Amino acid sequence: MIDTLNIFTTLLPGGPAPDGPLAGTSFAAKDLFDVAGHVTLAGSKINADDGRIAAQDATLVARLKAAGCRLVGMTNMDEYAYGFATENSHYGTTRNPHDPTRIAGGSSGGSAAAVAAGLVDVALGSDTNGSIRVPASLCGVYGLKPTFGRLSRAGVYPFVHSLDHAGLFARTPAMLAAAYDAVQGPDPRDPAQDQRPAEPIVLSSDMAPLRVGMLRGFFATGAAPEAHAALAHVVDGLAALGCAIAPALLPGASQARSAAFCMTAMEGGSLHRADLMTRPMDFDPAVRDRMLAGLLMPADLLLAARRVRRIVAASARALFADFDLLLSPATPCSAPRIGEPTIEIEGRPVPVRANLGMFCQPISFIGLPAISVPALANTPLPIGVQMIAPAWAEARLIHTAHHLHRAGITGTTGTAP
């Protein structure tokens, strides 16, 4: 395999095809999932220097292997998962399979690109502020971030303990469902995981009419025309499938994004405090300066952020009394060019990297399950729409995505074989 897009940090030798329900398929793992016998780089030079070799596979890696899915390699990412671009100063930039002059998004950019390029059927990623949904949107694949606590994080290198989620990429909802079923369920290795039993996905030919809320307010501003076009396309598609569409407001969404921003810098900085004290120049500069700033913020700000999380989570629970599903753009634009610092939105230059996750951050902050679906809206480049469900309703997300895919409203294009 020739990795011209800089997708992989490690490519593994091929072996015998394993048996199981996923036999004949392959997967890649973001390089923060432990793979036995390898150093988990997490996009860092520090981990490479330290050279700690994983003694066992991360639970999700082990479960995909046990289901017959063959691990092809580990994928590039932003250092310590802190970024939306996969522009890594140590391991280079992962290029977008749809246009190699553009970024793949991040921080799970290598995983999204591997699926989009057709190099694997499934990829594992992590999502703290949007790191699955953003690259899924920019690479034009399906990206699922389940409910906080749904999937095991055992053997996953942490970034922000109170916000980290593990999740998946695939080119079809059916493949996503099969892989999700293979990895879900309680794991005694992860004390933070919810211990609810696995809830297998059933993809039926019928779809119940859903009450769909199109998020306005914070989610309706600051996006480029292609994001609005993608959202309108999926809204029209859901209406054609019998869903009732109405505008919806999530009070406090903008403040939730700010709270996620602060909590990330503060907790992320705290996690890496020892290395920031003793070897700051071994970090990616962008990551280092954000974490150092986070370490200097007052503890009161973290307490306030946690309170805001409870307020906005309560708002969302109330909103789901009226809606089964909420929609927003997944990203404010399609993939920017590599090195491009700003994009023009509503007539103003906007810093692109800090804002790529703006519509994802409020949702992961309150732990709701969400999926980015690739809209087939005749945009020049792929772009996703974020569908959000109540806690533990991943099945509704995947089932709805399945029907959108079957109807040709969403889907992958272009690069996969």
Q: Is 288 in the site for another protein (CB under 8 A)?
A: yes
For 131, the 3-state DSSP assignment is coil
Q: Which of 221, 277, 341, 342 is the binder for another protein (CB under 8 A)? A: 277
**Torsion of the alpha carbons at 381, 414, 108 and 279, rounded to the nearest 10:** -80
Q: Is 249 in the site for another protein (CB under 8 A)?
A: no
- Regarding beta strands 8-11 and 70-75, do their DSSP bridges make them parallel or antiparallel, or are they unpaired? antiparallel
* Residue with smaller CB distance to another protein, 66 or 297: 297
Q: What burial letters (b/e) apply to 259-273, b meaning 16+ CB within 10 Å?
A: bbbbbbbbbbbebbe
Helix runs in 296-414, H state only: 299-319, 352-355, 361-365, 394-406
Mark whether 131 is an active-site residue.
yes
Q: Is 296 in the site for another protein (CB under 8 A)?
A: yes
Peptide bond into 107 cis (omega under 30): yes
- Catalytic choice (108, 111, 126, 131): 131
Mark whether 364 is an active-site residue.
no
Given a contact cutoff of 8 angstroms between Cβ atoms, the answer to whether 111 and 134 are in contact is no
Q: Is 159 in the site for another protein (CB under 8 A)?
A: no
What is the size of the binding site for another protein (CB under 8 A)? Answer: 36
* Residue with smaller CB distance to another protein, 301 or 338: 301
By CB under 8 A, which span of 169-177, 236-244, 285-293, 340-348 interacts with another protein? Answer: 285-293
Give the contact letters, 252-271, x = binds to another protein (CB under 8 A), - = no. Answer: x-xxxxxx-xx--x------
49 sits in which H/E element: helix 45-50
Q: DSSP letters of 248-296?
A: E--TTHHHHHHHHHHHHHHHHHHHTHHHHHH-GGGS-HHHHHHHHHHHT
Mark whether 107 is an active-site residue.
yes
* d(C-alpha 339, C-alpha 358), whole Å: 19
Q: Is 130 in the site for another protein (CB under 8 A)?
A: no
Q: Which of 12, 295, 313, 416 is the binder for another protein (CB under 8 A)? A: 295
* d(C-alpha 24, C-alpha 26), whole Å: 7
By CB under 8 A, which span of 26-34, 134-142, 184-192, 300-308 interacts with another protein? Answer: 300-308
Q: Is 307 in the site for another protein (CB under 8 A)?
A: yes
Q: What is the contact surface with another protein in residues (CB under 8 A)?
A: 252, 254-259, 261-262, 265, 276-277, 280-281, 285-286, 288-290, 292-298, 301, 303-308, 310-311, 354
Residues noted as catalytic = 30, 107, 131
